[in-house]
Amino acid sequence: MKTLGLLGGMSAESTTLYYQELNRLVRERLGGLHSAQLLLWSVDFAGIAAMQAEGDWDGAGAVLAEAARRLEGAGADAILICANTMHLVADQVQAAVTVPVIHIADATADAVKAAGCKRPLLLATRFTMEKDFYRGRLAGQGVEAIVPDLADRDRLHAIIYDELCQGVMSAASKGEVLAMIARAEGADCVIFGCTEIGLLLAPEDLSVPVVDTALVHARTGVEFALG
């Protein structure tokens, strides 16, 4: 079994989900007392979030690149950035290490296509919904993501940072996000494109297929680890 290096803490809430899911999948595949071989570097998200807000992506990327180097030095055979938004600096992280960075958007595109879909509604931070690093990568693989309108994007961004990343799961906010989904037209599935959204919504809440990026990213990581 190969060792996965996790760049986590963005947020700690969803990194916990990654840890649980990676171990569950390995146990499911191998049985018995098997669990995943993992190394975790968990950043202090407050500093990263401040750099995001200031547009200092090079600075945030440098923090993750250094963490990735340390994970590789400790024996990681691949790196998973446990967040969608921070894949904006995935190339910077990849340039810092010789092991592969397993990209969450690639795992997501594969899952969308496996579900027989090609025009998903992307729910995520404002950065992920509006910048090209994510939607452009999906488009390159034949997946044309649409996003909520501006007011809904702003509100969703606030829910993610002010609530979900801080462990607050509100029934009122769940209702708001479900209403955003209902207002969006033309989507054939929904991407939980922030790794915390699956903590608020479940696939059973929706009548269309759901791709939870944290779960499909973890599954892709396990496929790599187990070869």
pLDDT band with cut points at 50, 70 and 90 for residue 37: very high
CATH code for position 93: 3.40.50.1860
Percentage with pLDDT > 90 across the chain: 99
56 and 26 inside one domain? yes
Q: Based on the fold, state whether residues 84 and 162 are members of the same structural domain.
A: no
Q: What is the mean pLDDT of residues 92-115?
A: 98
pLDDT digits (tens, 9 = 90+) for 46-91: 999 999 999 999 999 999 999 999 999 999 999 999 999 999 999 9
Alpha carbon distance 11, 125 (integer Å): 12
pLDDT band at 120 (very low <50, low <70, confident <90, very high): very high
What pLDDT score was predicted for residue 178?
97
Regarding whether 139 and 60 lie in a shared domain, the answer is: no
The per-residue pLDDT for 209 is: 97
- Asked if 134 and 172 sit in the same domain, the reply is yes
Indicate if 159 and 174 belong to the same structural domain: yes
Residues 120 and 143 occupy one common structural domain: yes
Least confident of 75-79, 121-125, 147-151, 183-187: 183-187
Mean model confidence pLDDT for the chain: 97
Residues 81 and 127 in one domain: no
Answer yes or no: do 205 and 145 share one domain.
yes
**Domain identity same for 159 and 171:** yes
Considering the domain architecture, whether residues 122 and 185 belong to the same structural domain is answered as: yes
> 52: closest CA among 84, 99, 28, 5?
84
57-74 and 45-54 helices, crossing angle to 10°: 150
Specify the pLDDT at position 206: 95
Number of folded domains in the chain? 2
Q: Are residues 71 and 118 in the same domain?
A: no
pLDDT tens-digit profile of 180-213? 999 998 999 999 999 999 999 999 999 999 999 9
pLDDT 10s digits, 126-145: 999 999 999 999 999 999 99
In this structure, the answer to whether residues 109 and 167 fall within a common structural domain is yes
Domain of residue 150: give its range. Answer: 105-212
Give me the pLDDT at residue 40, please. 98
